[in-house]
Chains A and B, each alone.
Chain A
Amino acid sequence: MNIIINSIIAGVASGSFTILYNARFSDALIAGAIGALGWFVNSTLNGYGMLTATLISAFTIGIVGRVISRVRHMPSQPLIVGGIVVLVPGFMAFKAMNAFVVGKNTEGTTLMLNTFLTAAAIGTGLIVAVAITAIIFKIRIRR
Chain B
Amino acid sequence: MEIEMERALDFMTEVAASLMSYGSPTTRTEIWVTKIGQKLGFQVDIAIIYTVIYITIRDKDGNFKSITKRLFSLPSDFEKFMRVDTLVKKFVDGNIQLAEAHIELKKIINDQSTYSIFLRLIAAALTCGGFEYVLVGGTMSAIASMVLGAVVYAATNYVKLLNNRFFQQFTSGIMISIGAWLLVHLFKGSTLSGVVSGSIMLFVPGLLITNGFSEISQASVISGTIKESEAMALLIALVFGIFAGTVFVGGMNF
Contact = CB atoms under 8 A, between A and B. Distances in A.
Contact of A20 (B80, B127, B197, B212): B127
Contacts of B81: 75, 77-78
A39 interface: yes
B239 A17 contact: no
B64 interface: no
B218 A127 contact: yes
Contacts of B218: 127
Nearest to A88: B206
A97 B236 contact: yes
A90 B206 contact: yes
Q: What band does the interface of chain A fall in when counting residues whose beta carbon is under 8 Å from B?
A: 35 or more
B54 interface: no
B235 A93 contact: yes
Interface string A1-36: 000001001101110111111111001000000000
Interface stretch (B7-15, B23-31, B101-109, B179-187): B23-31
Given A13-B127, A21-B77, A124-B217, A91 B120 contact: no
Interface in B186-217: 197, 200-202, 204-207, 209-210, 212-214, 216-217
A88 B207 CA distance: 6
A94 B235 contact: yes
Main secondary structure of the interface of A (DSSP, over half): helix
A135 interface: no
A22 B77 contact: yes
Contact of B82 (A13, A74, A86): A74
A86 B125 CA distance: 15
B119 to A, nearest CB: 7
B128 to A, nearest CB: 8
Contacts of B200: 90-91, 94
Contact of B254 (A21, A86, A95): A95
Contacts of B240: 101
Interface string A89-130: 111011101100100000000000001100110111011000
B126 A12 contact: yes
B248 interface: no
B188 to A, nearest CB: 22
Contact of B85 (A9, A23, A75, A115): A75
A18 B125 CA distance: 13
A122 B80 CA distance: 26
What are the 6 tightest A-B residue pairs by CB atom distance, in nearest-first order?
A13-B130, A90-B206, A90-B204, A88-B206, A16-B126, A123-B213
Interface of B: 23-25, 28, 76-82, 85-86, 114-115, 119-120, 122-127, 129-131, 133-136, 153, 197, 200-202, 204-207, 209-210, 212-214, 216-218, 231, 235-236, 238-240, 242-243, 254
17 contacts: A6-B134, A20-B153, A20-B202, A22-B114, A75-B28, A75-B81, A77-B23, A77-B25, A85-B207, A88-B210, A90-B206, A91-B197, A98-B254, A101-B243, A119-B213, A122-B210, A127-B217
